[in-house]
């Protein structure tokens, strides 16, 4: 996987070099991001493929799986721009890297705008590169066409999910508490669960020619585990150790993210607790004391316990689906391990 990505980026470096050596920081920003991460999406793609047919050769599917890393990089870079995040995977977010480059060089204009523009371009490159790498996969034409249908749906639905997330933050006051949890769970489904787990599994399974029954099991497993995965990430974003998560504690609270965790708290809050949420959630200058005050509300309203209950329930659904699915024993064992990796209480 890493070798495929390294070779692909080396090819792109040569293409960008024809433009100018000044493009090197763009490639380095992408390369730095790709050096981190758990490679969960390629793993689900690989085992979705291997689960359908344990005797297929590895050639081809690895490149298709690696394309998911570039797609995720595009999503992360753009997500950090939209959220105005400072860090990603323990290092400066892409727009902060470009902002620092501009500031340190003493160039004209706004460092902030330069940073945002550089990140948008880097994210766009990753999106284009994901398609190029997928198209390069050494697979039979019919297998590639089956996978292409999943790949295309995945990309469109993620962008729709991102828009829903943005809309929810902008309109939550007008919409009120009623339906907040249901709306937040829909955002989770389309912004994270599908492209993180369901679609990678379906991509691998479709490439392998998996029967409809197994693909249906992959969807059920992937959607349940995908929600549990994102809810765990939401909990870690508020209560996790920044040294392990790679992001400052409370960033989601500072950004005013309308997560399931927040939705449950809003629905159960007393007037005093609601006042704390209204005053502090989304405050750009939220300090450590403010983060702690919001954490207290999330615990005391039962929101944290509620999210943990949903995670446990969805993991149970995923595991039960996995046990009943008609797939190879090695794939079943690997997918069980990935359940643990995706929902661990540590980042």
**pLDDT greater at residue 97 or residue 168:** 97
For 257-283, the pLDDT digits (tens) are 899 999 999 999 999 999 999 999 989
Same domain, 166 and 312: yes
For 46-97, the pLDDT digits (tens) are 999 999 987 777 778 999 999 999 999 999 999 999 988 888 988 999 999 9
pTM of the model: 0.93
Q: Containing domain of residue 335, as a range?
A: 158-347
Q: Assign 171 a pLDDT band (cuts: 50, 70, 90).
A: confident
Number of domains in the chain: 2
pLDDT for residue 103 is more than 70? yes
Q: Assign 245 a pLDDT band (cuts: 50, 70, 90).
A: low
Question: Could you tell me the CA-to-CA distances from 347 to 235, 239, 244, 336 in Å, in that order?
Answer: 10, 11, 6, 18
Same domain, 192 and 127: no
pLDDT for residue 347 is more than 70? no
Is residue 56 in a domain?
no
Same domain, 74 and 221: no
Same domain, 120 and 165: no
**Residue 220 pLDDT:** 98
How far apart are the C-alpha atoms of 278 and 274, rounded to whole Å? 6
Same domain, 101 and 17: yes
| Mean pLDDT on 170-187 | 85
**Residue 252 pLDDT:** 86
pLDDT for residue 247 is more than 80? no
Same domain, 271 and 219: yes
Same domain, 165 and 126: no
For 181-221, the pLDDT digits (tens) are 999 999 999 999 999 999 999 999 999 999 999 999 999 99
Q: What are the residues whose beta carbons fall under 8 Å from the beta carbon of 167, sequence distance 6 or more?
A: none
Is residue 211 in a domain?
yes
For 111-141, the pLDDT digits (tens) are 999 999 999 999 999 999 999 999 999 999 9
Is residue 152 in a domain?
no
Same domain, 196 and 85: no
């Amino acid at each position: 996987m890493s070798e495929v990505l390294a070779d692909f980026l080396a090819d792109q470096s040569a293409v960008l070099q024809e433009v100018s050596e000044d493009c090197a920081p763009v490639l380095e920003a992408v390369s730095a991001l790709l050096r981190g991460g758990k490679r969960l999406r390629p793993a689900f793609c690989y085992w979705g493929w291997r689960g359908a047919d344990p005797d297929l050769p590895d050639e081809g599917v690895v490149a298709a799986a690696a394309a998911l890393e570039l797609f995720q990089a595009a999503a992360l870079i753009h997500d950090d721009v939209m959220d105005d995040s400072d860090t990603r995977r323990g290092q400066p977010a892409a727009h902060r890297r470009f902002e620092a480059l501009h500031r340190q060089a003493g160039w004209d204009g706004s460092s902030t705008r330069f940073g945002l523009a550089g990140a948008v371009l880097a994210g766009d490159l990753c999106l284009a590169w994901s398609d190029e790498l997928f198209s390069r996969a050494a697979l039979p034409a019919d297998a590639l066409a089956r996978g292409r249908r999943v790949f295309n749906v995945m990309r469109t639905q993620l962008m729709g999910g991102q828009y829903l997330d943005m809309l929810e933050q902008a309109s939550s006051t007008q919409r009120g508490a009623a339906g907040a949890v249901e709306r937040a769970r829909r955002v989770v489904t389309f912004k994270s669960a599908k492209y993180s787990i369901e679609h990678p599994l379906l991509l691998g399974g479709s490439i392998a020619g998996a029967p409809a029954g197994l693909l249906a099991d992959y969807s059920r497993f992937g959607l349940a585990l995908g929600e549990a995965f994102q809810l765990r990430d939401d909990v870690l974003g508020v209560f996790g150790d920044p040294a392990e998560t790679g992001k400052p504690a409370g960033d989601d609270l500072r950004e005013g993210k309308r997560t399931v965790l927040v939705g449950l708290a809003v629905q159960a809050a007393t007037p005093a607790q609601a006042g704390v949420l209204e005053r502090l959630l989304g405050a750009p200058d939220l300090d450590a004391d403010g983060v702690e005050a919001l954490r207290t509300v999330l615990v005391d309203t039962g929101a944290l316990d509620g999210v943990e209950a949903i995670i446990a329930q969805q993991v149970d659904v995923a595991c039960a689906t996995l046990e009943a699915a008609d797939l190879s024993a090695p794939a079943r064992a690997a997918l069980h391990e990935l359940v643990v990796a995706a929902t661990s209480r540590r980042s």
